[in-house]
Amino acid sequence: MTRPLGVILAGGRATRMGGGDKGLLPLGDGTILGRVIERLAPQVAGLALNANGDPARFAGLDLPVVPDSMAGFAGPLAGVLAGLDWAAETGATHIVSAAADTPFLPADLVARLETAASPGGLALAASPSGRHPTFGLWPVALRDDLRAALEGGLRKVLLWTDAHGAGTANFPDDDAFFNVNTPQDLATAEAML
């Protein structure tokens, strides 16, 4: 398999953080999103950000910003679909998705997802706390199926991935998937640095 493209999912509404872009909040000497980029970029052939609204707010990142193609707030699967559509334009066969609010994501995320992938090339990450549906390896070949599912009202990642026999990449550490949802989580992330 050629190296997949990476798509950072930043399309959420951040309601528990008071709205706005959680990824742009300061963490250490940078931002949460900066740490995600730093950890994911070396693992992929290229990187894009899935975000809705004015892309200019991410201009300093020098990454393509791909908005959801589905109307309304359709959740993380809509972000995955936007990433798959972007990847299809480049001729890539797969993307790896990661959440924009997880500054400690595994340095071997892509390698483990590829090893665990189903014959169709689909896999999700898991740790002792459970599966992490925003961290996955997604084949571009399934984008039309995903679009049809979303248009039919499906919003649950696991319902769709289970229907397609997704493999599971098991990681030993829950901390790798720690995500910043609240001001307290941000303080915890600072301590984890």
Domains of the chain, first to last: 5-192 (3.90.550.10)
pLDDT-based confidence at residue 16 (cuts at 50, 70, 90): very low
Contact by Cβ (8 Å): 121, 94? yes
How many H-runs (helices) and E-runs (strands) does the chain carry?
6, 9
The dihedral through the CA atoms of 118, 122, 125, 129 has a sign that is: negative
- pLDDT computed for residue 76 by the predictor: 94
Q: What are the Cα distances from residue 86, in Å, to 53, 67, 79, 89, 104?
A: 17, 10, 11, 5, 25
- pLDDT computed for residue 72 by the predictor: 75
List, for residues 18-39, the tens digit of each pLDDT value.
556 889 999 999 999 999 999 9
Q: What is the pTM of this model?
A: 0.94
List, for residues 104-146, the tens digit of each pLDDT value.
999 999 999 999 999 999 999 999 999 999 999 999 999 999 9
Mean pLDDT of the chain: 93
- Residue 59, both tokens: 């201009």
Distance CA 158, CA 46 (A): 26
